[in-house]
Amino acid sequence: MRSFNGHSGLARRTFLGGLATGGVGMAVAQAAPPQPLAARLPDAMTRPGGADLPYGLPAAQEAQVERTLSTAAGFPVWRTPLQHQRGIITPSGLHFAVHHNGVPDIAPERHTLKVHGLVHKPLRFDLERLLRYPMVSRVHFLECAGNSAANALSPTALDQTLGEIAGEVSCSEWTGVPLAYLLNEAGVKDSAQWVVAEGADGGSHSRSLPLKALLEHGMVALYQNGERLRPSQGYPMRLFMPGWEGNVNVKWLHRLEVTDAPAYTKDESGLYTQVLADGRIERFAFHMEVKSVITHPSGQQRLPEPHGFCEIAGLAWSGRGRIARVDVSLDGGRTWAAAQLHGPVLDRAFTRFTLPWQWNGRKADLMSRATDEHGRTQPLRSEWKRRYAMHSFNHYNAVQAWRVQADGRVENVYA
């Protein structure tokens, strides 16, 4: 203890001596008084904030996160910016939308849903009556049959963002009345096999669906992500069939006709039939197949560092069930590594996956390949093209590849 105190005294004398001999220097160093604490705080911490809004909006600094519009198909297509999505739920305002005949302005108090045809008791439901029925809530993706059409048709890979390439898919919590409640109340006849669903839009969009599938999975959706449907999503009600192509999920639903055969409407006999490579027609291909995309890094993004750690992240989904596995390749498909799936892994919903990557600053071709619980796996683009006619593009689910250039820029490429 004496030794410790002795050293402490010596250190103290040395320190004081240093002050005496270096007094001028110390005086100069202390000439500027320290800044008050308030002056070192950001502006947001020095004054009260602004008022909130009755309906919350995104931060003004996130104004660039918005849907992209395309009219190349002859009608408006609003695509989800998947490259900015991190969770599995797509905000309602960013959900993709396709409008063949515009968005009708429907007065909810005057809108009704009619169930008729091969039923024992035709019924008509207004919105107030439907809202009294028991409801279910389910998280499911919705994908346009024509999603990723450019990758299917263009002979060269287009330099676009992920949202522009594959943004006609989104995932929401849908809440509504199981269709079985309404059909069972109407009492379907023994000869009934199909249901023709029709929307109250300017073109009377209609599709034929198998009765058995509607009884098992169909829903009259009234809510999306906890709030009433938005007009572009079918307000005040829409048909929802989880995992099936977007076009059969008839918006602004006003009529369900129970029949013994499909109607072969204009909406199912034109754009929404698939032509195979041998010329045969693949009709009523309802399910969207297993698919995945790397959301980061993805098209037109740039890695912030010349090299170093980067988490590869993406989304996977299947119209036939849950995602079982996602593999990621860093070398254009020569080798693959299993990515981590993040819960919840839900039936016919987005599943998030990640893989840590130490980028070495060299060119790299990134790919993801999803497999669902039934063993269905994404094909390569060349495999998909061999199956379908050259002009086919619906239900394109081939592996998406991104090339990371040496400068960190990311672009769309064909594997």
Per-residue pLDDT tens over the stretch 340-372: 999 999 999 999 999 999 999 999 999 999 999
What token pair was written down for 78? 């609003």
Measure the CA–CA gap between 142 and 112, rounded to whole angstroms. 24
Instruction: State the DSSP H helix or E strand holding residue 153, giving kind and residue range, or none if neither.
Output: helix 149-153
Q: Are 325 and 299 a contacting pair, CB within 8 Å? A: no
What is the structure's pLDDT at 301?
97
Average pLDDT of the residues in 387-407: 96
Dig out the tokens for 272 from the structure: 């929404």
Q: Give the Å distances, CA to CA, from 139 to 93, 188, 351, 374.
A: 17, 28, 11, 20
Using CB atoms within 10 Å of the CB of residue 207, give its burial: 0 to 12 exposed, 13 to 18 middle, 19+ buried.
Answer: buried
Q: pLDDT band for 307, please (50, 70, 90 cuts).
A: confident
pLDDT tens per residue across span 115-125: 999 999 999 99
| Distance between CA atoms of residues 266 and 268, nearest Å | 6
Helix boundaries (H) for 176-244: 179-186, 211-217
Report the distance separating Cα 344 and Cα 142, nearest Å: 17
The CATH number given to 291-413 is 2.60.40.650
Measured CA to CA in angstroms, residue 70 lies from 87, 94, 102, 171, 391 at distances of: 25, 15, 14, 20, 20
In the chain, what percentage of residues exceed pLDDT 90? Answer: 82
Sign of the Cα torsion 339, 90, 103, 122 reads positive
pLDDT at 22: 43
CA distances to 149, 230, 242, 316, 319 from 397, rounded to whole Å, are 10, 28, 17, 11, 11
Could you tell me the pTM of the whole model? 0.89
pLDDT at 17: 40
- Taking residue 371's Cβ as centre, other Cβ atoms within 10 Å add up to 18
pLDDT for 272-302, tens place per residue? 888 999 999 888 899 999 999 999 999 999 9
- pLDDT given for residue 82 in this prediction: 98
What's the helix, strand, coil split of the chain in %, to 5?
20, 30, 45
Does pLDDT of 266 surpass 90?
no
Three-state DSSP state, 356: strand
Can you give the pLDDT at residue 214? 98
Reading the block at residue 33, the tokens are: 């008084």
